[in-house]
Amino acid sequence: MKRNILIHPDPRLKKVCAPVSDLSDELRALADDMLETMYDAPGIGLAAPQVGVLDRLIVLDCVKEEGESPRPLVMFNPEIIAASDETSVYEEGCLSIPEQFAEITRPAEVEVEWMDRNGHARREVFTGLWATCVQHEIDHLNGKLFIDYLKPLKRQMITRKMQKLKRERARA
Ligand SMILES: [Zn+2]
């Protein structure tokens, strides 16, 4: 089932999310819904707070080439355990901040630990777009958006555009 994606500014996007202790069918269904919502948008990552659930859960799939098989990843309690000194710059966007993009500098490589949908502990090193995406999504679990890396003036400009967009959508 597709879920409604919250648009910035929304207090739920600024909250630190709670760790997941027990995997339930409900949480697995939420992960499936989030993947469906992400693919439909379309996007390459989605965090639970973006659909109004304040649990530490993200989904991502950065396979973009036509014909390549998808690689949906579901991560409960994802944690960055190591990050490279080397950085990379990507133009980031966010499903909660539609149509707005900005170049963000982040570590080029990160090692992430998480629990998969079967409750198994997993660990993997991510590079390239995957590294940027997983950091962007984990930021969401800590109430942080990519625009928080921008200078205040630019961030305020984007926030005002989003407030206007929300007003327009509410009227429609
Ligand atoms: Zn985002």
What pLDDT score does 134 carry? Answer: 98
What pLDDT score does 67 carry? Answer: 86
Per-residue pLDDT for 66 more than 90? no
Cα dist from 57 to 52, 73, 93, 148, 164, whole Å: 12, 11, 19, 21, 29
Whether 154 and 102 have beta carbons less than 8 Å apart is answered as yes
Span from the CA of 136 to the centroid of ligand 1 (angstroms): 6
Lowest mean pLDDT among 11-25, 56-70, 117-131: 56-70
Q: How far apart are CA 22 and CA 73, in angstroms?
A: 19
What pLDDT score does 65 carry? Answer: 82
Span from the CA of 137 to the centroid of ligand 1 (angstroms): 6
Q: In terms of CATH, what superfamily is 11-171?
A: Peptide deformylase (3.90.45.10)
Span from the CA of 46 to the centroid of ligand 1 (angstroms): 6
Span from the CA of 97 to the centroid of ligand 1 (angstroms): 7
Please confirm, yes or no, whether 137 is among the known catalytic residues: yes
111, 124, 137, 168: the catalytic one is: 137
Chain segment 109-133, per-residue pLDDT in tens: 999 999 999 999 999 999 999 999 9
Residue 154: which pLDDT band, with cuts at 50, 70 and 90?
very high
- Structure tokens of 68? 């390549």
Q: Does 136 belong to an annotated binding site? A: yes
Span from the CA of 13 to the centroid of ligand 1 (angstroms): 10
Q: What is the pTM of this model?
A: 0.97
What pLDDT score does 49 carry? Answer: 98
Chain segment 89-112, per-residue pLDDT in tens: 999 999 999 999 999 999 999 999
Q: Does 8 belong to an annotated binding site? A: no
Q: Does 94 belong to an annotated binding site? A: yes
Residue 28: which pLDDT band, with cuts at 50, 70 and 90?
very high
Domain regions of the chain by residue span: 11-171
**Helix (H) or strand (E) segment spanning residue 92:** strand 87-94
